[in-house]
Structure 1
Amino acid sequence: MCINCGLNEALGKLVAANPGTPLSRFAVSRRGFVRGALACTAALGASGIPAFAATDGKPTYIFRGGKVYTQNPAMPWAEAVAVSGKTILAVGTNAEIDKLKGPSTKVVELGGRLLMPGFVEGHIHPFLGAFLTSGVDLQVPDLDAAVAAIDAYAKAHPTGPIRGFGWRVDMFGPEGPTRQIIDKIVSDRPAFFFSIDGHSLWANSKALEIAGVNKDTPDPIPRFSYYARDKDGFPTGYALEVNAVLQLVNAVQPISPTAMGQLMVEWMPKASAAGITAVFDAGVPPIGSDQATILSMYTDLDKQGRLPFRVVGSYIVKSPPIDTAVKELEALQKTVSSELVEISFMKIIGDGTQSGYTAWLVEPYSDRPDFRGASPFSVEEWIALIGATDAAGYDVHVHACGDGTARMVLDAIEKAIANNPPRNRRHTIAHLVYVTDEDMPRFGKLGVNSEFSGNWFSGDPDTLINMKQRYGERAELMYRAKSTLKNGGTISFGTDWPASGYFSTFKPLDSIQIAVTRQLIGKKDNPILAPLDERLTVAEAVHANTLGAARQIRLEDKIGSIEAGKMADLLILERNIFDGDVYDIASTKIELTLMNGQVVHGTA
């Protein structure tokens, strides 16, 4: 499900490419990349985040007359909130807050609407998502709908390459997607579309022609990254895994620094409209081996006053060697820093996915009884990497789809706690598709946070069919966030956008509804993912996407709840999701997003 591990290095090279220039012959400096990209995106019209300031020492804003969900156990609900500049001044009743009003205070009548903390995304890939998901959206029910969407998009965009994202393997037969399907719609210009998991590409004949992919073209990595072929050996238009995918994309429409910056700027308002006020960026595409290049785009946007959310980032390690990892993280932390941006976590790619048999399991796969996956690190390397990171005062954030990886990480953290001085640790294990009963209590005992993508908890065909094949009876015990809480653990949410098994989203309200229902959004009678008692309450799911995620990234003293002295990261929702039908949560409109006391979505 998490695609960042495979695309990071290759996409970084692609990002650095000038249009038409082969990746292997192009080099660009980090600062040159950032300045060039952001200088061009500045022309998109984002002249700055709107701000409103009182000048008399009184509140900038007063929000009153509604339901205020604070996440503060001492006062879970309130009627009104006063904001002064970037911070929350006071929380209380309408009468109490009204007394603070000054002549220049802007009063916002909630009119019964819900005011709540801004959403904190505990695991997301904004740059990667902006790149993969641009173009036509193919997250549709079936192939006929996908064809119709491509046709409509092609007519609306009559020139240039056509790209898109979101098709699923179940839309096609055993042979997968074919170029002939697209050729019937557009044959005179290239078209290519990323699959919903980001591991495959569907291309038309023109794209194959431009890329020089034909009957005689060797596969980049035979049997792993390759071009599907028909019975006569001709490419069908179905490219699998990173090397083959990027060979096509780089030839057809290489992404320039300007384009990457533009895609990110275009996505930021969507994030604000979804209520996102802080993110944990779980890994960006490096330029060569330099991870600071893309991360520096965040700080440049912040210094321009154009970044609409806080960013906590990470240094990513996906394979040995590990000897310099801590020094690299320390250097990155010093290099990339601003008011809204900090780099302070060690992201470790601990395994892959169940779909490709690359998740590391305790017991073998049910449909491959002689295989249980593998890890990119030896036991000794796991202990050394986590131990050194912990000793340096940093926390790890580990991709672990498999229960074998989760167990290994818990073992390594346990050793680090025993060997290193006491401190306030915030280690996190992410995804946790399945965890054994034996290991479940260890999260709470060791103080290890469990990061989930609530949007993965649905009873969708991929989970009910494919995962059942991989796990057998274990598939009845997937995504046990409720059990984590019952065993004394903590949880946080992050969509892992753009990665997904069935449908991709960066909207926290989608995650919250699915975590509460364990059903796909749409119909109330959609299949429910067992076990039913793992469904979270609305309050538990909201906490995971606010204060829980803020705690994960060490910002709970600043954000995640509505309390005096905290930063003014606030949302106004059109209705109270705690009182209404849980099946209406995802469709609830966010009418205002305030970040750092500034309006980044809607109108106050």
Structure 2
Amino acid sequence: MLKADKIWTDGHFLTLWPEAPEVTAMAEKDGRIIAVGPDSEIETLKGPGTKHIRMHGRFAMPGLIESHTHALWGACRELFEVYVGYTATLDTLLHAAGARTADVESGRWITGGPWRSEMREGMGRRPRDLLDRIAPAHPVALADVTQHSLWCNSRALDLAGISTSDRFGGGVERGDDGHPTGILHEAACAPVRQMTTRTPEELSRAVSHFTRYFASLGYTGFKEPMATEADLAAYASADAAGKLPIHMAAHIACFAPLGPEPLGLDELTQLKRQYATENLRTGFAKLFLDGVAPSFTASFLAPYVGPDYDAAGHDPNATLLIEPEALNCWVTQLDAAGFVLKMHAVGDNAVRKGLDAVEAARLANGPSGPRHELSHSAFIDEEDLPRFAQLNAVAEVSPKLWMPNAATPAQLAVLGQERMERCHPIRDLLRAGAEVIFGTDWPAAAPDANPWTGLAGMITRRDSTGRFPGTVGPDQAITLEDALPLFTVNAARALGMEGETGQLRPGAWADFIVPGMDIRKGAPDQIAACTVQETVWKGQTIHTT
């Protein structure tokens, strides 16, 4: 009889496997689970070399999977950038950026943030002047909470060629004199972003940083939603060196307004082949369909609200980043090539156009193609809810909007209360049969990648930390039982690893976590404060307290 490398007994394992939902013991060999069941059954798999771990009644469950997190970006922010948190004042941000000049050689870039749209008035008529005063010898670029806008000083604008270019139209905020004020939106940020890329050495440090961080939160898998070739190289290099202890997929940036030029199918296919490794899946691509609401760049069917928007002239398609006909062709081509698409879609019109493109691909290529994802799916018209299931498309949701947070006032100001209450209709999506997955979108508008606050927020639609009062769309709250698959089983399918992770079952990798509590018995606030005592990936402990 086959003997296990390790067995765990005397535990309370929530498996999320319908054939054996709860067991007390589990056995592993070569990193994969070979059996789950009662102690007496699993102990028969114990041989002379088997390591026997007694759980002493502790609760365990599958490792969590994050379906949308910019891991390298977030780690670089914490390691190398000015970061003051999402509730800091304008003065705090300016002071921190000014203080950084003492540590950075003259002429080198200073990056960081974040700032919020309500700070704009305090920056004055020409915000770049504030940064010029505190950093006259350094180019400075500070991102807003959405990461879709930048605040730059004059030196940064000059180096990026923004001061003398009319290329980006409304993406460059200009004063009465026609000169850039220092505020950039969407594609206008790209030249600056391309000048502030990280070295391979810095990216290597970032991989080590985020893998430790993710393991401490209970993640055993994640999806990188917008990978450049430099990102792919960093991930692949780390995996080749045995330093990527996590399952992952990377959506290669095919078209991103904040990034480099669009990639063709041949280039995508080459990157896919070149950087795929055992733990890095590369058959994924990313498209941006619209922007974000605070800068009026998210594509909505109905007009924005407020005095700063011309509602009478509202054109839902004006804010689309890809024309619908071109999008349909693009998605059909990538679908035929087997790429799983993640399409950034915040506004309900962008979501509709994304679903239209998936429908076009299904008609052209057949119904059994890749399961494409609508990233964020923040606002969905009621008519489009059943289309996710009909088209076998996936709705990805992110907690930066489904519960009150630092960005909520800016959202309310441009969308209004009634529309905000319809944000992230998770309950309606599930009722309509849609597959839904979870992503924090860290560090874009998310202060951390903590899944436990996100899980609690799904259950209550409140900010469990207590920093931000009220609720967002409380009628869309769901139960813990309904929420857990978004972090596990559904996420594993989106990762291309159905049956291999996200469940504790024979044949799956031995990926599980030991939270400090049985989350089924805790109140939402207790779940939000949950800490992970141990994270096991492929049978090996990668985090312990």
The alignment-based identity, stated in percent, is: 27
Note the residue ranges of structure 1 that are not aligned, 5 or more in a row. 1-55, 286-290
How far is 1:406 from its partner?
Answer: 1.5
* Alignment check: 8 A CA contact 1:455 1:512 kept: no
**Residues 1:127 and 1:218: Cα distance change in structure 2 (over 3 Å):** same
Return the match for 2:225 from 252, 268, 282: 282
How far is 1:550 from its partner?
Answer: 1.0
In the TM superposition, what are the counterparts of 1:140-539 in structure 2 within 5 Å? 141-143=87-89, 146=92, 150=96, 159-160=103-104, 164-170=112-118, 173-175=121-123, 193-201=142-150, 218=163, 224=170, 239-241=183-185, 255-285=198-228, 291=229, 293-318=230-255, 325-367=264-306, 368=309, 369=311, 370-371=313-314, 372=316, 373-423=318-368, 425-460=370-405, 462-463=407-408, 466-467=411-412, 469-470=414-415, 473-500=418-445, 503-523=446-466, 526-530=469-473, 532-539=474-481
**Residues 1:298 and 1:406: Cα distance change in structure 2 (over 3 Å):** same
**What does the per-residue CA deviation read over 1:258-290, in whole Å, with 9 as the maximum and x for residues that have no partner?**
2233233322211221222212221123xxxxx
* Alignment check: 8 A CA contact 1:432 1:451 kept: yes
* Alignment check: 8 A CA contact 1:510 1:585 kept: yes
Letter in 2 for 1:586: A
TM-score (norm. length: structure 2): 0.84
- Mapped to 2, the partners of 1:323 and 1:195 lie a distance apart of 24
How far is 1:158 from its partner?
Answer: 6.8
- Mapped to 1, the partners of 2:438 and 2:515 lie a distance apart of 19
How far is 1:527 from its partner?
Answer: 0.7
Return the match for 1:556 from 478, 498, 502: 498
- Mapped to 2, the partners of 1:433 and 1:277 lie a distance apart of 26
Q: Secondary structure at the match of 1:438?
A: helix
In the alignment, what sits opposite 1:49? none
In the TM superposition, what are the counterparts of 1:77-92 in structure 2 within 5 Å? 77-92=22-37
Letter in 2 for 1:282: P
- Mapped to 2, the partners of 1:254 and 1:414 lie a distance apart of 37
* Alignment check: 8 A CA contact 1:117 1:561 kept: yes
How far is 1:457 from its partner?
Answer: 0.9
- Mapped to 2, the partners of 1:194 and 1:423 lie a distance apart of 40
* Alignment check: 8 A CA contact 1:127 1:284 kept: no
How far is 1:575 from its partner?
Answer: 0.9
**Residues 1:179 and 1:406: Cα distance change in structure 2 (over 3 Å):** closer
In the alignment, what sits opposite 1:579? 521
Q: Relative to structure 2, which stretch is displaced further, 573-582 or 276-285?
A: 276-285
Q: Secondary structure at the match of 2:388?
A: helix
* Alignment check: 8 A CA contact 1:227 1:244 kept: no
Letter in 1 for 2:303: P
Letter in 1 for 2:418: E
* Alignment check: 8 A CA contact 1:112 1:575 kept: no
- Mapped to 1, the partners of 2:265 and 2:382 lie a distance apart of 33
How far is 1:446 from its partner?
Answer: 1.9
* Alignment check: 8 A CA contact 2:348 2:381 kept: yes
* Alignment check: 8 A CA contact 1:492 1:548 kept: yes
- Mapped to 2, the partners of 1:225 and 1:378 lie a distance apart of 18
How far is 1:547 from its partner?
Answer: 0.9
**Residues 1:461 and 1:342: Cα distance change in structure 2 (over 3 Å):** closer
**Residues 1:326 and 1:175: Cα distance change in structure 2 (over 3 Å):** same
In the alignment, what sits opposite 2:62? 117
How far is 1:431 from its partner?
Answer: 0.8
**Residues 1:63 and 1:100: Cα distance change in structure 2 (over 3 Å):** same
* Alignment check: 8 A CA contact 1:137 1:149 kept: no
Q: Secondary structure at the match of 1:141?
A: coil
- Mapped to 2, the partners of 1:469 and 1:283 lie a distance apart of 27
In the alignment, what sits opposite 1:31? none
**What does the per-residue CA deviation read over 1:494-552, in whole Å, with 9 as the maximum and x for residues that have no partner?**
1122212xx4322222321222221223129821112x221121222221011111112
**Residues 1:325 and 1:240: Cα distance change in structure 2 (over 3 Å):** closer
TM-score (norm. length: structure 1): 0.77
- Mapped to 2, the partners of 1:349 and 1:244 lie a distance apart of 15
Q: Secondary structure at the match of 1:278?
A: strand
**Residues 1:90 and 1:498: Cα distance change in structure 2 (over 3 Å):** same
How far is 1:99 from its partner?
Answer: 3.2
In the TM superposition, what are the counterparts of 1:31-50 in structure 2 within 5 Å? none
Q: Secondary structure at the match of 2:521?
A: coil
- Pair 1:139 & 2:85 matched: yes
Letter in 1 for 2:147: G
Aligned residues: 529
- Mapped to 1, the partners of 2:443 and 2:103 lie a distance apart of 27
**Residues 1:349 and 1:250: Cα distance change in structure 2 (over 3 Å):** closer
- Mapped to 2, the partners of 1:209 and 1:115 lie a distance apart of 54
In the TM superposition, what are the counterparts of 1:54-93 in structure 2 within 5 Å? 58-93=3-38
Relative contact order (C-alpha < 8 Å, sep 6+): which is higher?
1
Note the residue ranges of structure 2 that are not aligned, 5 or more in a row. none
Letter in 1 for 2:290: D
How far is 1:326 from its partner?
Answer: 3.4
In the alignment, what sits opposite 2:75? 130
How far is 1:374 from its partner?
Answer: 2.5
**Residues 1:66 and 1:182: Cα distance change in structure 2 (over 3 Å):** farther
- Pair 1:593 & 2:535 matched: yes
Q: Relative to structure 2, which stretch is displaced further, 404-413 or 184-193?
A: 184-193
Q: Secondary structure at the match of 2:293?
A: coil
In the alignment, what sits opposite 1:23? none
**Residues 1:175 and 1:190: Cα distance change in structure 2 (over 3 Å):** closer
